[in-house]
Amino acid sequence: MDIITTRGLTKAYGSRTVVDSLDLRVPQGCVYGFLGPNGSGKSTTMKMLLSLVRPTRGEISVFGRPMNRETRPGLLREIGSLIEAPPGYAHLTGRENMAIVQRMLGLGDRQIADAVAVVRLQEHMDKLVRAYSLGMKQRLGIAMALAREPRLLVLDEPTNGLDPAGIEEIRELLVSLAGEGITVMVSSHLLDEIDKMASVLGILGRGRLIFQGTRTELFHRSLPDLLVDTPEPERALALGIPAVRADRGIRLSGFDDRDTARLVRQLVEHDVPVHGVRRVQQSLEEVFMDLTGREGLL
Amino acid sequence: MRAAVLEVQKMRRLRVAPVCAVMVAAVTALTCAGLMSDSARAGFGDPAAQPWETLLLSYVLVSAMTSPLLVAVLASRQVDVEHQGRGWMLSQVAGLSPGRLCRAKAAVLGAVLAALVAVQTSLVVAAGLAAGITVPLQAGIWVRYAVCLFLVDLALLCLHIWLAARVDNQLVGMGIGLLGSFCGVFSLLMPPALARALPWGYYAVVSPVAMGEDALRVITPGYGWLAVFLLVVAALFGAACHRFDRTEG
């Protein structure tokens, strides 16, 4: 079952379309990595999912119910979120902040204690939030999102500004939450971070959904470069093949299986010795860069 | 009610009580400074010397000077925490719209102002009695003025909450509060029509005493104009809150 589905979700500000015809499908109980370069429309999409921004066009369905002004209060009770930066009143302690969330949502003491325990912030609850590190603020923000015991967590760049240890900590936390049955939708422009925690990826580029599926499906969709081992690369290049010289031969981009067969036939017909043909192993980052048109991912 | 209780929780460590206490002390001291002079003391038992009217005029003047600043400080402190702590978003995803938050802030700070004006007015009257004014006190005039002062403060509070919510930089609101202090004081000297055109001019509109040719006159404040002002501010604040509710995050 899909927890979130959108159909043709679009947001335009005047003539500028920032999110264009998104058809998202976020399966239940997974960590859904929402990936895209800065400015690709991730935050706007997440705000539309939470009904903080009105879509220009399209439909949103959460837990199988349409998200609109009427259904929003009921749906938001089951969605924890952290958008753009962690909330927290700096002049209050962590405990006082959680007390505000408790009253805001009408929660019990146990729910608050559990949420604080999950993010391991118990020892710091009596400190003023202004004295918190960024990582602690992020954890407090996640505790605020978790306190309502949500079925869905929508987190916008939750590891922004964290050091590697903080990133690792948040990542482990999100994976463990998914293990408990909570669907986690997490956005990032950091590919490595998403790669280590998400089981399903949605890749956004210039407001459009470029890819959606598992990591394996993503690799299947991409077309790794072809490496032809030959001791005579100059002769191969002289045939007009669109290739560049490589370490032990030539390297070609965008060649599918049929193109590869045709290439090998052509080389053999012209007596160019072919010692081997193989695909170059691509990193996820290379796949992503190809898909997003190399828009500068970190 | 829930939103109002939340605002009280957020008030913690914002030093609202000390700020109010300092302001009450300052207003009382400035208002009552004239009671110390020998010439004033000589007329404490003489109705013709108008000791209560003189004290009330002093109170009107000091209130017009200090209230705009106090209102700006209270509004900016209570709203700035939402900007700094991303409280707008936190509240929105909990079902509390920004407009509702602003209304709750106005209600809670309005209660603070009501208490402040009541205490401040009582202290000024008590100081007059303690100083030895024996001319009978016309309590009704003081009570009506205190109520009007509170209503003008409340109206300006709503405008400052709107401003503080609209503009992240709270120095803007503080600057306008300071400007309001000057306008408030000078509105007592302005032609009434000009005073009615300025929000801070209503500190003069509600004044129950005015300078006559050779004595102070007890006058009827511009209640009608005050009612119009309050209605206009209520409509503007209501529309602004409605607009906040529709603002996209």
Token pair 């055109």: residue: B197
Residue B11, domain extent:
2-246
Round to the nearest angstrom and report the end-to-end CA distance of chain B.
24
Mean predicted confidence (pLDDT) in B123-139: 94
H or E element in which residue A5 lies: strand A2-13
pLDDT in tens, A221-254: 777 888 999 999 999 899 988 888 988 899 988 7
Domain with CATH 3.40.50.300 in chain A: 2-214
CA dihedral A262→A266→A268→A269, nearest 10 degrees, is 130
pLDDT surpassing 50 at residue A297: no
Determine the pLDDT at residue A287: 74
By Cβ distance, the residue of B2, B81, B92 closest to A91 is B81
Mean pLDDT (chain B, rounded): 94
At residue A292, the pLDDT reads: 66
Rounded to the nearest angstrom, the minimum Cα separation between A68 and chain B is 13
Q: Which residue has the tokens 């015991």?
A: A149
Least confident of A85-99, A169-183, B22-36, B125-139: A169-183
What is the number of structural domains in chain B?
1
Quick: pLDDT tens for A187-216.
988 777 788 889 999 999 889 998 899 888
pLDDT at residue B249, rounded to an integer: 66
B103: CB partners within 8 A, 6+ apart: B3, B241
For residue B4, pLDDT beyond 70:
yes
- CA dihedral (A51, A118, A100, B83) in degrees, to 10, reads -60
The pLDDT tens digits of the residues spanning B170-203 come to: 999 999 999 999 999 999 999 999 999 999 999 9
- Asked if residue B247 has pLDDT above 90, the reply is no
The H or E element that residue A175 is part of is helix A164-179
Q: Any CB–CB contact under 8 A between B86 and chain A?
A: yes
- pLDDT of the residue at A18: 94
Q: Which of A45, A52, A89, A129 to mutate to test the interface with B (most CBs of B within 10 A)?
A: A89
CA distance A76 to A72: 6
What region does A64 belong to: left with phi over 0, alpha with psi -120 to 50, or beta? left
CATH 3.30.70 residue ranges for chain A:
223-281
* pLDDT of B40: 83
* Reported ipTM: 0.88
Helix (H), strand (E) at residue B222: none
- Determine the average pLDDT of the residues in A18-44: 92
Tokens 């009257």 -> residue: B125
The reply to whether A76 touches chain B by the CB within 8 Å rule is yes
pLDDT at A296 over 70: no
pLDDT at A185: 95
pTM: 0.84
CATH number at A223-281:
3.30.70
Residue partners of B234: CB distance under 8 A and separation at least 6 = B155, B158
How many C-beta atoms lie closer than 10 Å to residue B237's C-beta? Answer: 20
pLDDT at A26: 95
Q: Say which of A52, A91, A106 has its CB closest to residue B13.
A: A91
Q: Is the pLDDT score of A5 beyond 50? A: yes
Contact A53 B90 (CB under 8 A): no
- The pLDDT of residue A298 is 39
Residue of B16, B77, B90 for testing the chain A interface, max A β-carbons within 10 Å: B90
| B95 chain-A contacts, CB cut-off 8 A | 72-73, 76-77
Is pLDDT of A270 > 70? yes
pLDDT bin (cut points 50, 70, 90) of residue A286 is confident
Mean pLDDT of B149-157: 98
Smallest CA-to-CA distance from A47 within B99, B100, B88, B164 is with B88
- Report the b/e string of A36-52 with b at 16+ CB within 10 A: bbeebbbbbbbbbbbbb
pLDDT of A131 strictly over 80: yes
Structure-model confidence comparison of residues A284 and B103, the more confident one: B103
CB A11 within 8 A of CB A56: yes
Establish if B93 touches chain A: CB-CB under 8 angstroms. Answer: yes
Length of chain A as a residue count: 298
pLDDT, tens digit (0-9, with 9 covering 90-100), for A133-164: 988 998 999 999 999 999 999 999 888 777 78
Q: Residue B101: closest CA among chain A residues belongs to which residue?
A: A104
Helix (H) or strand (E) holding A155: strand A152-156
Determine what percent of chain B is predicted with pLDDT higher than 90. Answer: 85
The CATH superfamily holding the domain A2-214 is: P-loop containing nucleotide triphosphate hydrolases (3.40.50.300)
Nearest to A34 by CA among A161, A124, A153, A141: A153
Asked if B87's CB is within 8 angstroms of A89's CB, the reply is: yes
- The answer on pLDDT for B229 being more than 50 is yes
CB-based contact B84 A144, cutoff 8 Å? no
